[in-house]
Chain A
Amino acid sequence: MLIEALQILFLSVGTLFFFLGVIGLLRFPDVYTRLHATTKCDTLGLGMIVMGALLYEGATLNSMKLAFIIIFVFLTNPTAAHAIARAAYRHGTRLWEKSVVDMYKEASP
């Protein structure tokens, strides 16, 4: 009973985070703000959904694979986001016109 409640809770919260990330992707004005919204929401949403699937599996070899998926995504998703942001800046993408500070430009004149 408690396990079923936890499964439904984890899957629902993960879906909610995916929805919030997509709303940020569609509504924010800039590449960098969109990246900021989607990376954090996607990482936590995928962690929640895989945790819910892990509760469905029980303690087997497959649940170890699921735990490895969580660890791998928590390591690689921020790395990919950092690479995309750096490439977008070097490509010459403008910041939003209401942006306040540009620290990359100050650090590397």
Chain B
Amino acid sequence: MTFPLFVALALCFTALLCFYRLIVGPTVPDKIVAAQVIGTKTMAVLVLIAVIYDQPMFIDISLTYAMLSFLAIIAVARYLGGERVIKC
């Protein structure tokens, strides 16, 4: 189980590289793109943690994280485009 550990560490390093665009990014949509990329990498790291430590609970956490990240991205994008976030 050492190879998935190295893959998870490499993904954490790429997430650190993404923080440059998240902090510096010239416009606001750049920062949203960087946040979405970091969220996707977090899902991959959670699945790898479930493999490394043999704990199936983390797969459910990754699935929930995917749904919450998708909802948050859609809400922020609608707010930024000048539309109503919730239609009722």
Q: Count how many pairs of residues, one from A and one from B, have CB atoms less than 8 Å apart in the complex.
A: 129
B78: chain A residues at CB < 8 Å are 83, 87
Contact of A65 among B10, B27, B60 (CB under 8 A): B60
Q: With the chains together, A25 CA to B60 CA distance in Å?
A: 29
Nearest A residue to B50 via CB reads: A53
Helix, strand, loop or mixed for chain A's interface?
A: helix
Nearest B residue to A24 via CB reads: B37
Interface residues on B, range: 35 or more
A6 at the interface (CB under 8 A from B): no
**Given A15-B7, A34-B30, A69-B47, residue A87 in contact with residue B37 (CB < 8 A):** no
B28 at the interface (CB under 8 A from A): yes
B51 & A93 in contact (Cβ 8 Å cutoff): no
A-B contacts besides A42-B37, A45-B40, A80-B70, 12 pairs, CB < 8 Å? A11-B3, A15-B7, A19-B14, A25-B34, A52-B4, A57-B51, A69-B47, A69-B62, A69-B63, A76-B70, A77-B40, A84-B73
Residues of A within 8 A of B (CB): 7-8, 11-12, 14-15, 18-19, 21-22, 25-26, 31, 34-35, 38, 42, 45-46, 49-50, 52-53, 56-57, 62, 65-66, 68-69, 72-73, 76-77, 79-81, 83-84, 86-88, 90-91, 93
